[in-house]
Amino acid sequence: MSDSSVKTLSRIKIAMLIDGDNAQAGLLSQMLVEAGRHGQVTVRRIYGDWTTSNMSSWKDTLNFHAFQPIQQFRYTIGKNATDSAMIIDAMDILHSNVVDGFCLVSSDSDYTRLATRIRETGIFVMGIGEKKTPKPFVNACDVFVYTENLTSAKKQPNNNKVSKTKEKKKEEPDPTPLLIQAFEMAVQQDGWAALSNMGNALYQLDPAFDPRSYGHKQLSKMISKYKEKFEVRLQDIDGSTIFHVKLKE
């Protein structure tokens, strides 16, 4: 096997750093899956004051998923020292060149500059946090995943009526302007755009874009719903199916 073949098989390495004061222990498995979509999570650390009771919910799950707990005492009441410790560690990891990307788990705006600094070096950075996360932090990341989408994926109610009601609420925002913008960024001279290129464009326009926010598991299924706006075409190339999109006149 050639060296180039080996490189294509290897996955990028990601450091996953979690602000334990600002994240949910019950979603650790789902957060790992999200980070795993982009690479192999090799550095796994959770920061917090482990002498406090509010960190106890992490203890079982961090051992199961082989996360390293990083102790950070609160020297002043009401002040969060976790963010400074996590930022310092992130910069040390960045300059050690042991990873190709970062996953920052927090809803705290204090990590905005850190995410920006990582992106400035040309390294991939994703964020995971609640929908209350300030937009500057969200936009500083290449990709941002809302934990509410992970929670809804975890809970699948048996009541179809309830499920449809939730889905309807998710679809209240109109994503078509964003989809059209992404299409215009990805369209080729023949008037068609590859769905993968549209997906990349969507993340550039809005790092928090997620089909699950609109009740769809995949972008292709979401696009297919808007038949009045988009025409779709499937192309088989070397055994792989390529999804193409065209904006209707």
Closest CA to 114 of 146, 92, 145: 92
Work out the number of other CB atoms within 10 angstroms of the CB of residue 68: 10
State yes or no: pLDDT of 3 exceeds 50: no
Asked if 115 and 177 sit in the same domain, the reply is: no
The domain boundary, picked from 91, 124, 154, lies at 154
State yes or no: pLDDT of 213 exceeds 60: yes
Chain centre distance of CA 104: 9
Asked if 100 and 170 sit in the same domain, the reply is: no
At 147 the pLDDT is 95
Residue 211 belongs to some domain of the structure: yes
Asked if 94 and 166 sit in the same domain, the reply is: no
Structure tokens that stand for 174 in this block: 């109109």
Residue 5 belongs to some domain of the structure: no
Rounded percentage of the chain residues whose pLDDT exceeds 70: 84
Domain count, the chain: 2
- Domain containing residue 28: CATH number: 3.40.50.1010
Asked if 31 and 143 sit in the same domain, the reply is: yes
Q: Report CA dihedral (160, 161, 167, 170) to the nearest 10 degrees.
A: -150
Higher pLDDT, 145 or 167: 145
Asked if 75 and 111 sit in the same domain, the reply is: yes
Amino acid present at 90: A
The domain boundary, picked from 133, 154, 175, lies at 154
State yes or no: pLDDT of 130 exceeds 60: yes
Asked if 227 and 114 sit in the same domain, the reply is: no
Write the DSSP string, 195-223. Answer: HHHHHHHHHHH-TT--GGGGT-SSHHHHH
Rounded percentage of the chain residues whose pLDDT exceeds 90: 61
Asked if 100 and 201 sit in the same domain, the reply is: no
- Domain containing residue 195: CATH number: 3.30.420.610
Mean pLDDT of the region 226-242:
87
Residue 2 belongs to some domain of the structure: no
Average pLDDT of the chain to the nearest whole number: 85
Structure tokens that stand for 54 in this block: 């509010």
Instruction: Name 91's Cβ contacts closer than 8 Å, sequence gap at least 6.
Output: 114, 117
- H or E element at residue 31: helix 28-36
State yes or no: pLDDT of 25 exceeds 50: yes
Reported as a pLDDT band with limits 50, 70 and 90, residue 83 is confident
Instruction: Name 9's Cβ contacts closer than 8 Å, sequence gap at least 6.
Output: none
Is 67 in contact with 47 (CB distance < 8 Å)? no
What are the φ and ψ backbone dihedral angles of 126, each rounded to 5 degrees? -120, 155
User: What residue numbers bound the domain in which 189 lies?
Assistant: 162-247
Asked if 140 and 166 sit in the same domain, the reply is: no
Reported as a pLDDT band with limits 50, 70 and 90, residue 75 is low
At 206 the pLDDT is 93
The domain boundary, picked from 119, 154, 189, lies at 154
| Predicted confidence (pLDDT) per residue in 146-202, tens digit | 999 997 655 555 555 444 544 444 446 889 999 999 999 999 999 999 999 999 999
Higher pLDDT, 112 or 3: 112
Asked if 30 and 150 sit in the same domain, the reply is: yes
At 6 the pLDDT is 37
Asked if 144 and 41 sit in the same domain, the reply is: yes
Residue 236 belongs to some domain of the structure: yes
Mean pLDDT of the region 71-88:
72
- Torsion sign, CA atoms 144, 147, 148, 154: positive
Reported as a pLDDT band with limits 50, 70 and 90, residue 2 is very low
Asked if 176 and 137 sit in the same domain, the reply is: no
Mean pLDDT of the region 111-131:
96
At 87 the pLDDT is 93
